Amino acid sequence: MSQKDQEKWDRKYLENPALREPRPPLRLIDTWVPPGDGNSQALDLACGTGRNAIALARKGWKVEAVDLSPVALQILTEAAETAGVLASIRTEMIDLETFSPPVNSYDLILKANYLDRSLIRRTIPALRPGGLYIVETYMHHADNAKKDANPDYLLAPGELKTLFAEGFEILHYDEFWNESYEMHRMRKQAIVAKKLST
């Protein structure tokens, strides 16, 4: 694990009160994720302080929420306890740069505001046939407000569709301007892709 990355993210969460405030979960969860049946298993990659993990747990899902920042995971744990869903969420401190979860383990994989293309490839086998892979993150755009964003972490136009071109049915794809509660006005891309059975 990159100690420097972990320290960077811990510091961000500790020094920036706005990042510790509860934020609305992805709208995609409301629209596309069916209620869990108590055994439905989700994986929230780079979960941060848990806005999406908590929303999934509220819908009846069991959630594995993973991130490299122990500070973020502690905030998540406290928020999940307040929301009454702590029993449905298991947190783990993990470096996603080397993470390859076991095959056929999840009915839903979600990745929000974090881009690692190889992580998508490494985690697709962990999604069960019929399961949903949901990604929402930032993309290149000339009018993005954050001019110093690392270009490696920004999607090219249409790129998410290419990452799920094989073995998936794309249920939803969109490019749009982010919500006003985010720090900088940025263009985003989102996909909901259903894994095919064969």
Ligand X SMILES: C[S@@+](CC[C@H](N)C(=O)[O-])C[C@H]1O[C@@H](n2cnc3c(N)ncnc32)[C@H](O)[C@@H]1O
Could you tell me which stretch among 62-70, 146-154, 163-171, 181-189 binds ligand X (CB under 6 A)?
62-70
95 vs 169, beta carbon nearer ligand X: 95
Backbone angles phi, psi at 90, to 5 degrees: -110, 125
- Pairing state between β 187-195 and 127-138: antiparallel
Write the DSSP assignment of 89-118 as a string of letters. Answer: EEEEE--GGG--PPTT-EEEEEEES---HH
Do residues 173 and 191 touch, judged by C-beta distance below 8 A? yes
Which CB, 48 or 101, lies closer to ligand X? 48
Under the binding rule (CB under 6 A), the answer on residue 48 touching ligand X is yes
Amino acid at 79: A
Residue nearest to ligand X (CB): 48
Site for ligand X (CB under 6 A): which residue of 68, 75, 190, 192? Answer: 68
The three-state secondary structure class of 51 is helix
Residues 159-198, interacting with ligand X (CB under 6 A): none
CB of residue 90 vs ligand X: minimum separation in angstroms?
15
- Binding-site size, ligand X (CB under 6 A): 17
CA angle, 102 as apex, 173 and 120 as ends, to 5°? Answer: 30
Subset of 4-23 contacting ligand X (CB under 6 A): 5, 9
- Residues near ligand X (CB under 6 A) are 5, 9, 46-48, 51, 67-69, 72, 94-97, 112-114
